[in-house]
């Protein structure tokens, strides 16, 4: 059988940078241990690739959102080190957690009852300290169901850690007030941004996510965090667009002179949305090649005037330094990572 051709899209994960970032965040966690949020397929970079790197760097606590994410992560670390943030929503999910040996994060009295009725065991407990997302309300902490749980990590989540907002201190105070009320082994509050709010927020365990993968939720992290992802796409056709002709959907670009253009294998399903357009560009080494016309489903066009030697099959680099890419596109750094599609050779 003829081998499958190599993809025209590449996503290179810099394992050394990923390990460096975890170690840097662990150091910044002070006396607390740093875990690793590996949900959303390690923020789009591939759990099968990233989890072993994080494990070997020293991470011991791993957080996913969905039960479907468990098998990939559990292939590389002990199941008891995995927490599922959405918790057990049914008896079947609770039984799966017990059989797999992973911890559900209990988010409500309903989930607490399900877990105990299934036989229980070690779990984590989320407290809603003011974000109004997941978690029990503080006044529910004294419920007998909560007292019956065997809580490993008592946690909450900061809503505005990337800002110097008064709510950060209020959330910390809310969680601290519950520490004597709920039996637990460890406490956790800070995400990547929360690490930079100071030692008071570190507690026993921090839960970095975005910064592991090269994101900078706060400017103070700039010197400590390295880019992890390198995204490339191939030119699949080189053509000359004549003066007066237009390019792409809705003919938004008109060539003023004869223009050498590269059609690049990159589009919506690869996380390259129309918001990359207008002032966007791709790179050949340090040479910027402006986008021309709209991103059109699976393709984008670039002006090759400054790179006359490029041809079909040559790869261009997407400028994937996350903070400036977020500013240029209007997408969050989280969106830039997690919308990377499945068509990349990783």
Asked whether the predicted pLDDT for residue 15 surpasses 90, the reply is yes
Is the distance from CB of 234 to CB of 314 less than 8 angstroms? Answer: yes
CATH code of domain 229-319:
2.40.37.10
Q: Residue 153: its pLDDT value, please?
A: 98
Q: 190, exposed or middle or buried, with CB in 10 Å at 0-12, 13-18, 19+?
A: buried
Is the distance from CB of 24 to CB of 34 less than 8 angstroms? Answer: no
Provide the 3-class DSSP secondary structure of residue 143. coil
The domain limits of the chain are: 15-217, 229-319
Nearest to 335 by CA among 283, 293, 276, 280: 276
CATH number for 15-217: choose from 3.40.50.300, 3.20.20.10, 2.60.40.2480, 3.40.640.10: 3.20.20.10
Q: How many CB atoms lie within 10 A of CB 147?
A: 13
Asked whether the predicted pLDDT for residue 273 surpasses 90, the reply is yes
Question: pLDDT-derived band of residue 191, with 50, 70 and 90 as boundaries?
Answer: very high
Task: Compute φ and ψ for 225, nearest 5 degrees.
Answer: -110, 135
Which residue blocks in the chain are alpha helix, DSSP H? 15-28, 39-43, 47-57, 70-74, 91-100, 109-118, 144-147, 166-178, 322-329, 333-338
Angle at 111 between CA 108 and CA 115, to 5 degrees: 140
Q: Residue 279: its pLDDT value, please?
A: 81
Q: Residue 106: its pLDDT value, please?
A: 98
Pairing of strands 184-188, 150-155: parallel
**Region 148-159: what's the mean pLDDT?**
98
Q: Residue 8: its pLDDT value, please?
A: 95
Nearest to 16 by CA among 162, 221, 227: 227
Question: pLDDT-derived band of residue 274, with 50, 70 and 90 as boundaries?
Answer: very high
CA 231 from chain centre, in angstroms, equals: 15
Is the distance from CB of 61 to CB of 36 less than 8 angstroms? Answer: yes
pLDDT digits (tens, 9 = 90+) for 45-69: 999 999 999 999 999 999 999 999 9
Q: pLDDT averaged over the chain?
A: 96
Provide the 3-class DSSP secondary structure of residue 100. helix
pLDDT digits (tens, 9 = 90+) for 161-183: 999 999 999 999 999 999 999 99
Question: pLDDT-derived band of residue 320, with 50, 70 and 90 as boundaries?
Answer: very high
Asked whether the predicted pLDDT for residue 346 surpasses 90, the reply is no
Q: Give the active site residues.
A: 39, 249
């Amino acid at each position: 059988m003829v081998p499958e051709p190599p993809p025209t899209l590449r996503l290179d994960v810099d394992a050394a940078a990923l390990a460096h970032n975890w170690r840097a965040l662990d150091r910044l966690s002070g006396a607390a241990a740093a875990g690793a949020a590996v949900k959303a397929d390690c923020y789009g970079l591939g759990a099968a690739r990233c989890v072993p790197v994080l494990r070997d760097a020293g991470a011991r606590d791993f957080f996913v959102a969905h039960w479907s994410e468990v098998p990939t992560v559990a292939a590389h670390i002990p199941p008891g080190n995995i927490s599922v943030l959405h918790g057990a929503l049914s008896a079947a999910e609770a039984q799966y957690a017990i059989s797999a040996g992973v911890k559900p994060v209990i988010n409500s009295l309903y989930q607490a009852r399900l877990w105990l009725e299934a036989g229980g065991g070690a779990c984590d407990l989320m407290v809603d300290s003011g974000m109004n997302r997941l978690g029990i309300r503080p006044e529910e902490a004294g419920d007998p169901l909560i007292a019956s749980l065997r809580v490993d990590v008592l946690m909450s989540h900061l809503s505005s850690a990337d800002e110097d907002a008064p709510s950060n201190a209020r959330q910390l105070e809310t969680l601290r007030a519950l520490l004597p009320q709920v039996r637990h082994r460890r406490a956790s509050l800070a995400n990547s941004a929360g690490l930079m709010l100071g030692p008071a927020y570190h507690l026993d365990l921090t839960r970095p996510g975005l910064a592991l993968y090269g994101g900078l939720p706060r400017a103070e992290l700039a010197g400590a965090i390295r880019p992890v992802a390198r995204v490339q796409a191939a030119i699949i056709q080189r053509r000359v667009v004549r003066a007066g002709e237009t390019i792409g959907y809705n003919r938004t670009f008109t060539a003023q002179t004869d223009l050498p253009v590269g059609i690049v294998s990159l589009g919506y399903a690869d996380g390259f949305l129309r918001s990359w357009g207008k002032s966007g560009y791709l790179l050949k080494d340090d040479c910027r090649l402006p986008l021309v016309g709209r991103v059109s489903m699976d393709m984008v066009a670039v002006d090759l005037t400054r790179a006359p030697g490029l041809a079909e099959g040559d790869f261009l680099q997407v400028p994937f330094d996350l903070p400036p890419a977020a500013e240029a596109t209007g997408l969050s750094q989280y969106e830039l990572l997690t919308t990377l599609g499945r068509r990349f050779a990783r």
